[in-house]
Chains A and B, each alone.
Chain A
Amino acid sequence: MSRLEELLQVAFPGDEVSVEDRTGTGDHFQVTVVSALFDGLSLVEQHRLVYNALAAPLADGTIHELRITTKGAE
């Protein structure tokens, strides 16, 4: 499991989490999370939860580009 997947599993325990390395270079990612934590939240609030989970790799430059798809469980 990749570091990004581990971080997302910690933030969204038991939820559907996927990380795709879009370019095969380990720095452009498509992240998809389906979680009940998103229910009732705006898209901005949903993406903020993902950014919070990935704050370390965002800050240290591991993630050069991040695409996020979020879905509530409802």
Chain B
Amino acid sequence: MTELGTQIKEIIDNEDVTLFMKGTPQMVMCGNSHRALEALRRAGAPVTAIDILPDPRIREELSTQSGWPTIPQVFVRGELIGGADIVEELEQTGELERTLTDKLGPDYRGAADERVVAVP
């Protein structure tokens, strides 16, 4: 695996909630990234965001690892939860909050501030 691939894998595995998106939470550059971010925010998820736009290799490495062709992609403790459609659907049914509670514990809300991590 490339150095960038290793870096991406470590973020996915170690962060509570990782959102690979176009743009940043402060300046979202894509409607679907916005939908995923807002669903995560409604569920109170402690989001670590990664902007894939600065370097095309980020998206290539990510999709190779996840087998998921589109952006955004949401992971909770290493597990792919889905893209915007799935995250929205899970948020609406309450399943997203259940998943976050199961994986992060009942006090996940407000456990960490939203933040942005830059790669490579």
Q: Which residues of A contact B (CB under 8 A)?
A: 43-44, 47-48, 51, 55, 58-59, 65-69
Q: Which residues of B contact A (CB under 8 A)?
A: 31-32, 67-70, 80-86, 89-90
> Which residues from B are CB-within-8-Å of A43?
82, 86, 89-90
Q: A58-B69, A58-B70, A66-B70 are in contact. Are A47 and B82 (CB under 8 A)?
A: yes
> Which residues from A are CB-within-8-Å of B69?
51, 55, 58-59
CB-based A-B contact count at 8 angstroms: 30
CB pair B80–A68 under 8 Å, yes or no, is: no
A8 CA to B2 CA, complexed, in Å? 35
Mostly, the A contact residues are helix
Q: Which of A47, A55, A58 is close to B86, meaning CB atoms less than 8 Å apart?
A: A47
